Chain A
Amino acid sequence: MSEFLQQLLNGLSLGAIYALIALGYTMVYGVLRFINFAHSDVFMVGAFIGYYLGKLVPEGTLWGGLLVLSGAMIGCALLGMFIERVVYRPLRHGPTLNVLITAIGVSLLLEYTGQIVFGAAPRTFPQIFPTANYHVGSLTISSNQVFVIGVAILLMIALQLIVFKTKIGTAMRAVSLNPKAAQLVGVNNNVVISFTFGLGSALAAAGGILYAMNYPSIDPLMGVMPGLKAFVAAILGGIGNIPGAALGGLLLGTVETFIGGSQFSTYKDAIAFAILIVILLFKPAGLLGKFTIEKV
């Protein structure tokens, strides 16, 4: 039983990070109907901004850690908006496939620029927040795990509030529903799309920092696997659906951890992805997605 609870906790803290990254994929898809493959590399850049900022503040202090976290989030938000402005906006009215290919190009550009700027060798991420281990019965909970889950929940609530309670959130939903109609009623699509990219990238940066805190070895290709998993999580939950992305991330992290702890650990990615296929066979739009019939 205690092993089960421990694995559940491990899985949830991993899944919370997937969920944060998945939110970025899902938001961009919701507004623009395309997959921003560069998102996983924004996640990597977030971790590296954290690495450099972490050297400027004293290690293991709460205010220093929060400063690093918000610094990385702001930095990545700017990066996300910059990528959107320079690369995606000129292509917005072309075929979706063009943007998709460009997104892969931006992803590779970030990865290999990272290898030149940051170096290809892995670096050790500093302990930016104070750490401790708590023992509850036979369960061991590290402060990092609590922190990851806590921050992820807080950010998801904040996101839900932004999308449903603010003016810009209403505009985002309007653009997602029908961009042309939104424009007709006075929504500035460019601003809304920029904002979406900024928000998604800030969440990716937070995910990057939390990931690096838990697994303190970072390198320019670190985003590839978590990015792929988060992408899958977004589809699993129903792409374009914000609570769906969160659910998908938590589910994928938990399943992966449980398989990782069994004797089939070598197959953990294969099994996790096989489960995805099965779910999509029965629910083609994902767990919380709505399947809409396209009229021809």
Chain B
Amino acid sequence: MIAPRLHVLRYLRGVKNAGFRFAAALAAAPCASVAAAAAAPEPIKIGVYASLTGKEAVWGQSAEKATRLAVDDVNAAGGVLGRPLLAIIEDNQSKPGESVTAVRKLISRDKVIAILGEASSGRSLEAAPICQQARIPMISGGSNPKVTQVGNFIFRTHFIDPFQGTVMSRFAREKLGAKRLALLTEVTNAYAVGLAKYFSADAAAHQTPIVIEQKYSAGERDFKAQLTAIKAANVDAIFVPGYYTEAGLIVAQARELGLNLPVLGGDGWEGPQLLAIGGPALRDTYYCNNFSSESDVPETRRFIARYQARYQSMPGGTAADAYDAVLMLTDAIQRAGSTEPEKIRAALATTRGLRGVGGPLNVDANRDQLKPAYILGYNSGDYHLVQVIQP
């Protein structure tokens, strides 16, 4: 019980399956298949680390699916520089510390030319220094600004938390008319702490102060103590920057305590677990995301249709990020004309106007992205698009 956890490194289907998929992709593109199969060029290896199991397994699994879809798309179109892509995917079990092991293995043993991942800022922050040190480009899906500040090899596909925090504070003020706000922050999570900070800063600047801030740690299940204190503080809305499992429990327990206020969250809320745990208690909750299944952007619509056809499920924001990461990398390799990490890095830094499935991809001077935010609200069994906010 109290002994240290055994570390089981999972070697995922990566190598074996990718070869099969590559062959399948070739079969699907008959015009290219004859020449390519004859020459059999060496594949370009890209490393992916994701939370395929554990608490945030939903994100890792949808990222894995989207990565495979993207890689197959690139290969079906003839690959990059005449060579197919090969994704090697490692699991970090949603646990702190595991990403480092996974990324080290991908770089030193598999000799990948770039690292993609992951949706969690905390785990991206663990992997980023390893990639920076090894001078291997990394494209994260995290939103904490510190991720890209690690160094010039670190990029992202996601918008950043200062933007997201401002968007949600503005939404609480303008759309919900909230004057007094409460915060319930997951203090063991870099993403949540950062998001809480930017949200409070914007709220304080607009005279809608945070009158009470309560805290919790990852994996906690009882939030009634914090919620009872919030209830006594008489607020208009609660902001819960954190991840979906806890968010679902928090909303359910808030309603149980008779706390029928709007509850707001960030993109960490996205996951079917939220709906499963929260259920109808989620009425009057809103969260900000980088993706909406109701978006009318043609690239997004096409991506949703193809993802659904292949996996019979709806892609989320992490899937869009994972797909776009492959897109960004492919585009950079193409423009660099080389698979040398240093040249890919230089090309990534000049990514402009690439049409990603989750919105336009433009890398700015800080290697961050400016992308629209989608505010989703719960209504009769699911979240629907309420508002799109352009950067």
Contacts and interface: CB of A to CB of B under 8 A. Distances in A.
Q: Do A and B come from one complex?
A: yes
A241 interface: no
A266 B215 contact: yes
A124 B62 CA distance: 19
A258 to B, nearest CB: 7
A104 B6 contact: no
Nearest to A219: B55
Nearest to A216: B277
Interface string B193-219: 000000000000000000000111101
A219 B310 CA distance: 29
A123 to B, nearest CB: 8
A3 B222 contact: no
Contacts of B215: 265-266
B53 A121 contact: yes
Contact of B57 (A3, A120, A224): A120
A26 interface: no
Contacts of A259: 225
Contacts of B214: 261, 265
Given A120-B54, A121-B58, A266-B187, A215 B222 contact: yes
Contacts of A227: 1
Contacts of B222: 10, 14, 214-215, 257, 260
Interface residues of B, number: 37
Contacts of B249: 215-217
A142 B222 CA distance: 14
Interface of B: 1-3, 6, 8, 53-55, 57-58, 93-94, 187, 214-217, 219, 221-222, 224-226, 228-229, 231-232, 245, 248-249, 252, 256-258, 273, 276-277
27 contacts: A3-B228, A7-B225, A7-B228, A10-B224, A10-B225, A10-B228, A37-B2, A38-B1, A104-B1, A112-B6, A112-B8, A120-B54, A121-B55, A124-B277, A140-B257, A142-B257, A215-B249, A216-B252, A217-B221, A217-B245, A217-B273, A227-B1, A256-B225, A257-B225, A259-B225, A265-B225, A265-B226
Interface of A: 2-3, 6-7, 10-11, 14, 37-38, 40-41, 104, 107-108, 112, 115, 119-122, 124, 133, 135, 140, 142, 144, 211, 214-217, 219, 222-225, 227-228, 256-262, 265-266, 268
Given A104-B3, A217-B221, 20 more contacts: A3-B229, A38-B1, A40-B1, A104-B1, A120-B57, A120-B93, A121-B53, A121-B54, A122-B245, A133-B256, A133-B258, A140-B256, A142-B257, A214-B221, A223-B1, A257-B222, A257-B224, A258-B225, A260-B226, A261-B226
